[in-house]
Structure formats: C-alpha cells, structure tokens
C-alpha cells in the first residue's frame, strides 16, 4: 500500500513569524512540497497563531484548488468553536482532532476515547456533515479504538512520538513498533483507516512502514524541515517519499 506524505508547514510558519516579513512563505513551501510528490499539506493553527496563522489557511486552500486539485488539506487542532469554523471555512479535506492544551508546544498524547466520547461525538458529526474526513489522535494502544469507530471517526492517527524517542535504543524501538502494529490492527478490525505522525524521520520510517503497511498517510514537519536545511526542500521531500514507499 502506498502511503501519502502530508507535509506539515508549521515549522516554516514559525520561522517566518520570527520577523515581521512575508518569508519564508508557507504557500511557496507548500507548492514545493506538492510539486515534488507530497500528497497533502498539514497545518496546526494554534489559538495564539505562534505557528501557522489563521490567515494562512485560505491561501493554502487556494493553492491546492488552483494548482494541485488532487492533494488534500489536513488541518489539525483542538476542537474549539474557533477551530471548527476555521476548518469549515478552509474546506479541510481531513480534520485531525488532537487533545492539546493551548499552551502545549506540540501534540504529545492521544485522546481518552471513553472519557471524551460525548464531547467528540457532535464534533465528528458536524465535520463529516461538512464533507471532511475525521481522524482522531490516538496513543499506541488498542484501548478505546472501538469507541473511536463508534463515534463515527474515519481514521485514527497513531501518535508515534514514543517510537521517535527510541532513536538510540533498538530494543525499545522494536517494542514501540509492536505497540503501533497492535493498535493499527485493532483499528482495522473496526474499519478505521490509519494515519501516523510525530517524530518520524528518514531513519525510522522504513521499519514503521514494514510493520504497519496499512498506514494511509503520515504527517511530517519537524524532521523534514530539519533535513531541508542540509539537502534543500524539494530533495528532502523526495527523500522522505523514498523512505516511506521505497
């Protein structure tokens, strides 16, 4: 199964936001990502706009519509009313719901599906009524995957942070991959698609894909932008695609 690479542009936006200047442009780097084989763009518009700004969303939507109509726009975030309206206005192809506190620097845990079920249920229904696919951020554990399916989610996104943290420990990496594999299998039993994201790199993608071949999409930002400093943005996108799909 070929896995889609969705390039997360938050790190590009964060660099831009260090100065009151229009560069680096998230639209320009979104165009480079898609022109070099990425299948989608991901953004996480946080409430304080410290990364992607709300005003970036219509520009990225316009880029995809005008130049890459087969690509997907994935918007991730915590489901406040403001966030939901941003997703609706930008006509997100996929919305990835994460249980982040607004002060968090990055997503670092999945949903408690049982505890948050009644909060998530109407949100999922609303987004799907608007035409978006809904993915729920999930810890590497099969617990609650059945609830995610019952709530109407289309996919889960495996939180791969614990796997990424094992970069210097082969034994721990093997255990982390096994947890992800078991969770993906549970998702498949409940007809949920599987995405993955967080701390994925050129080095650790092949083993993950070999163990969990059913991954439909990975969202990668930090490691991709870091590699782009050395190899350039277009070449880095191509390198990640090769690591992902051979």
- Which residues are catalytic, by number? 44, 76, 198
Beta strand ranges found along the chain (DSSP E): 4-8, 40-43, 72-77, 94-97, 133-138, 155-159, 193-197, 215-220
Which of 125, 181, 178, 189 is closest to 151 using CA atoms?
125
Written as one string, the DSSP assignment of 36-78 is TT--EEEE---TT-SSS-TTHHHHHHHHHHHH-TTSEEEEEE-
Structure-token match 């999922």, residue found: 124
Q: Tokens at residue 165, please?
A: 């943290």
Residue 69 — φ and ψ, nearest 5°?
Answer: -65, -15
92 vs 7: CA distance, rounded Å: 15
The H or E element containing residue 99 is none
Q: Tokens at residue 118, please?
A: 């009644």
Is-contact 126 143, C-beta < 8 A? no
Count of other CB atoms within 10 angstroms of residue 43: 30
Q: How far, in whole angstroms, is CA 174 from its chain's centroid? A: 23
């Amino acid at each position: 199964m070929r896995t889609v690479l969705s390039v997360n542009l938050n790190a590009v936006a964060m660099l831009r936001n260090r100065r009151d200047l229009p560069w680096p442009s998230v639209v320009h780097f979104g165009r480079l990502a898609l022109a070099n084989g990425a299948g989608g763009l991901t953004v996480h518009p946080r409430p304080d706009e410290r990364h992607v700004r709300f005003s970036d969303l219509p520009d990225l939507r316009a880029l995809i519509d005008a130049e890459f109509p087969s690509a997907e726009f994935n918007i991730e975030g915590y489901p406040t009313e403001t966030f939901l309206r941003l997703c609706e206005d930008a006509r997100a192809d996929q919305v990835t719901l994460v249980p982040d506190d607004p002060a968090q620097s990055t997503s670092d845990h999945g949903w408690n599906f049982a505890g948050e079920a009644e909060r998530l249920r109407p949100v999922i229904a609303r987004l799907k009524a608007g035409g978006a696919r809904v993915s729920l951020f999930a810890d590497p554990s099969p617990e609650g995957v059945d609830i995610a399916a019952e709530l109407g989610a289309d996919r889960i996104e495996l939180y791969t942070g614990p796997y990424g943290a094992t970069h210097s420990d082969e034994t721990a990496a093997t255990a982390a991959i096994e947890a992800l594999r078991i969770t993906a299998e549970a998702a498949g039993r409940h007809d949920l698609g599987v995405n993955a994201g967080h701390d994925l790199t050129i080095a650790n993608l092949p083993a993950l894909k070999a163990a969990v071949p059913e991954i439909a999409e990975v969202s990668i930002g930090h490691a991709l932008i870091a590699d782009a400093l050395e190899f350039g943005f277009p070449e880095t996108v191509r390198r990640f695609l090769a690591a992902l799909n051979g």
